[in-house]
Amino acid sequence: MSGREDGMADQAQDVVTSTTVSPGISEVTLERSPANALGIPLLDGLHSAMDAAEKAGDVKVMVIRSAIPGFFAAGADIKHLSSIDAASFTAYGDKMREVNDRLAASPWISVAAVDGVALGGGLELAMACTLRVAGPNGRFGLPEVKLGLIPGAGGTQRLPRLVGRGRALDIMLTARQVSADEAYRIGLVDRLTDGDVTVAARELADQLIGPSLPAQLAVVRTVDAAFDSPLAEGSRVEVEQIQQLFEDGEAAEGIRAFVDKRKPEFR
């Protein structure tokens, strides 16, 4: 990203790495000891990973995982917060929100692989992903009220959309941690595995890589519209998305391939 100092960019590369695990699938690994606190280096590293994916131009699925045992991301960098004023705190929150909003609007499907603590900003990062896979040790929560704060990087908006108003309030007002089993039951995570969460996330990515990406992104946009708009407006978005898939997407190729009894050649 523009405006970063060279030293900070080097730090970002140290705590966030991005690799291509198979054609079209990028795996982003968070590794900032001891708990993947979302300090500036990690946030800049996530921006750099998205920069690289956009530059590559062929990423269809991005898996975000942690290399720190027991942690996906523990949340905001409390040490950093303790040394800044209100204006700096607002700027820090804006930076976290910028990462999450960019990820949520990215031109690929994103999957969070969580087998450990995902609290505060860590859960907000996971919720910004398209889908979430949890391992048996996954723990989820938005405990900001314990600090006299509220979630500030999308948590108050994304959690109710995933689990409903009452459950979201329960989680945020009590500041409790939700187990992987409960998270799956209430819809906070989409898949649950008893094994290696990274393997499970890669298996999901392999399933996602086959269909048309423009169609998948259109599904996400129309489903989001179902939560953000009245029914009539959501239906209008659905019609627009279908038209765009014929004009700019891969609908024609998909239909021809079906008629020809062959595998479609999606980009």
Q: Is 144 tagged catalytic?
A: yes
Beta bridge partners of 111: 63, 131
Q: Is 210 assigned a catalytic role?
A: no
Which is the catalytic residue, given 120, 121, 138, 155?
121
Predicted structure pTM score: 0.88
Q: Active-site residue among 49, 74, 128, 144?
A: 144
Mean pLDDT computed over 186-209: 97
* Helical (H) or strand (E) element with 4: none
Map out the domains of the chain with their CATH numbers. Answer: 16-210 (3.90.226.10), 213-260 (no CATH)
CA distance 39 to 74: 11
Q: How confident is the model at residue 253 (pLDDT cuts 50, 70, 90)?
A: confident
Residue 238 confidence class, pLDDT cut points 50, 70, 90: confident
Active site residue 124: yes
Which one is catalytic: 27, 53, 124, 141? 124
Catalytic residue among 12, 37, 76, 134: 76
Report the 10 Å Cβ neighbour count for 21: 14
Residue 11: per-residue pLDDT: 61
Please tell me the distance from the alpha carbon of residue 19 to that of residue 39, in angstroms, as a whole number. Answer: 22
Q: What is the pLDDT of residue 246?
A: 80
Is 76 annotated as catalytic? yes
DSSP string spanning 32-43? -TTT-EE-HHHH
Q: What pLDDT does residue 200 have?
A: 98
Separation of alpha carbons 92 and 257, rounded Å = 49
* Average pLDDT score over the chain: 89
Q: Which two tokens stand for residue 23?
A: 């054609």
| 92-147 confidence digits (pLDDT tens) | 888 999 999 999 999 999 999 999 999 999 999 999 999 999 999 999 999 999 98
* For residues 172-178, average pLDDT: 97
pLDDT > 90: what percent of the chain? 67
* φ and ψ at residue 64, rounded to 5 degrees: -110, 120
CA 140, CA 178: separation in Å to the nearest integer? 5
